[in-house]
């Protein structure tokens, strides 16, 4: 039955507590929809779940025949194992800590990832693509998720295979048992590069970086507003601003990693309180 009709005949009233029971053809428990091809959960679905559980358990039992839970030597505050690798699911975090200060990579960024994930259903206004796998109907949403996912897994792979002694970058073909000399080029904050290039004072260099940082967020928010008007219209102002903040922050993480790896930039923004 149509939901609107239901509401008219049986309006919601705080003084009443009745439900609408419907008569359906066949033995289907699903109302408000045409009778469909349904099957009993016992045994059809339960059997599948049982098989799945057995397969996973057997897989686990087989796995532990080859690999055992690690146990290193007794905890010792005076010596850190070299290199100290976190468990794989935290390696992404550990790798991000190389590129950002701990207040950002360790606290604010994970907080933003969690909060951003929670907000996703409220920011995604696309009504299409519910209940089936599709890329073409929700390209942007899938792109966003994949981008975040990719950063996470790429950093895990870097941490697992490309980091060695003293947490230095080791290629798969370099000798992982030999301590490398530290890079000759040290990390340099962006404003000092401007000081070198344009021969301005440090204060002016910092103003340049402030402009670049704020400009990145301002232009990143304004340009899509003009270019992809339908998207902005569909989302509304606040939803759009929230989304753009998270989107540009995520892209910024990727950008900063690239700037660090290619140009040895330590910070892109330097303020008396925080450095990013």
Contacting another protein within 78-107 (CB under 8 A): 78-84, 86-90, 94, 97-103, 106-107
Residues with Cβ within 8 Å of 62's Cβ and at least 6 positions away in sequence, in order, are: none
Does position 161 interact with another protein (CB under 8 A)? The reply is: no
Does position 189 interact with another protein (CB under 8 A)? The reply is: yes
Binding residue for another protein, selected from 31, 58, 122, 228, defined by CB under 8 A = 122
Contact 257, 99 (CB under 8 A): yes
Per the rule left: phi > 0, alpha: psi between -120 and 50, beta: everything else, 199 is left
* Closest distance to another protein from the beta carbon of 258 (Å): 17
- Classify 78 as helix, strand or coil: coil
Show contacts with another protein in window 46-75 (CB under 8 A).
46, 48-49, 52-53, 56-57, 60-61, 63-64, 67-75
Binding residue for another protein, selected from 41, 58, 150, 218, defined by CB under 8 A = 41
Quick one: CA torsion of 163, 167, 169, 174, rounded to 10 degrees?
-70
Residues with Cβ within 8 Å of 90's Cβ and at least 6 positions away in sequence, in order, are: none
From residue 112, alpha-carbon distances to 97, 210, 246 in Å are 15, 22, 8
- Angle at CA of residue 15, ends 12 and 20, nearest 5°: 45
* Closest distance to another protein from the beta carbon of 173 (Å): 20
Residue 57 or 160 having the CB closest to another protein:
57
Residue 221 or 275 having the CB closest to another protein:
275
Q: Which stretch binds another protein (CB under 8 A): 32-40, 219-227, 235-243, 245-253?
A: 32-40
Does position 259 interact with another protein (CB under 8 A)? The reply is: no
DSSP state of 143: H
Binding residue for another protein, selected from 24, 147, 157, 167, defined by CB under 8 A = 167
Q: Which stretch binds another protein (CB under 8 A): 115-123, 212-220, 228-236, 241-249?
A: 115-123
Q: Which stretch binds another protein (CB under 8 A): 111-119, 170-178, 226-234, 239-247?
A: 111-119
Stated length of the chain: 276
Does position 145 interact with another protein (CB under 8 A)? The reply is: yes
Residues 276 and 265: their CA atoms lie apart, in Å, by 10
* Closest distance to another protein from the beta carbon of 224 (Å): 22
Number of residues that bind another protein (CB under 8 A): 102
Residues with Cβ within 8 Å of 254's Cβ and at least 6 positions away in sequence, in order, are: 147, 151
Does position 174 interact with another protein (CB under 8 A)? The reply is: no
């Amino acid at each position: 039955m149509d939901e609107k009709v239901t509401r008219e005949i049986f309006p919601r009233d705080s003084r009443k507590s009745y439900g609408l029971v419907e008569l359906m053809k066949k033995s289907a428990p699903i109302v408000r929809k045409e009778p469909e091809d349904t099957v009993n959960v016992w045994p059809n679905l339960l059997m599948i779940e049982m098989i799945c559980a057995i397969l996973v358990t057997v897989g686990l039992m087989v796995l532990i025949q080859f690999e055992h839970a690690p146990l290193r030597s007794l905890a010792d505050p005076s010596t850190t194992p070299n290199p100290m690798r976190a468990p794989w699911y935290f390696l992404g975090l550990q790798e991000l800590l190389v590129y950002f200060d701990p207040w950002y990579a360790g606290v604010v960024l994970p907080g933003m990832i969690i909060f951003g994930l929670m907000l996703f259903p409220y920011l995604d206004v696309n009504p299409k693509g519910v209940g089936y796998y599709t890329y073409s109907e929700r390209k942007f949403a899938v792109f966003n998720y994949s981008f975040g996912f990719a950063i996470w897994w790429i950093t895990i792979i870097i941490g697992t295979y490309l980091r060695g002694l003293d947490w230095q970058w080791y290629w798969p073909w370099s000798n992982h048992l030999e301590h490398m000399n530290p890079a000759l080029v040290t990390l340099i904050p962006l404003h000092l590069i401007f000081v070198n290039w344009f021969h301005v004072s440090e204060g002016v260099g910092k103003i340049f970086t402030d402009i670049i940082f704020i400009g990145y967020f301002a232009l990143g928010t304004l340009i899509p507003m003009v270019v992809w008007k339908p998207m902005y219209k569909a989302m509304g102002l606040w939803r759009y601003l929230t989304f753009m903040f998270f989107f540009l922050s995520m892209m910024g993480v990727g950008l900063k990693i690239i700037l660090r790896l290619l140009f040895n930039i330590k910070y892109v923004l330097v303020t008396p309180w925080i450095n990013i």
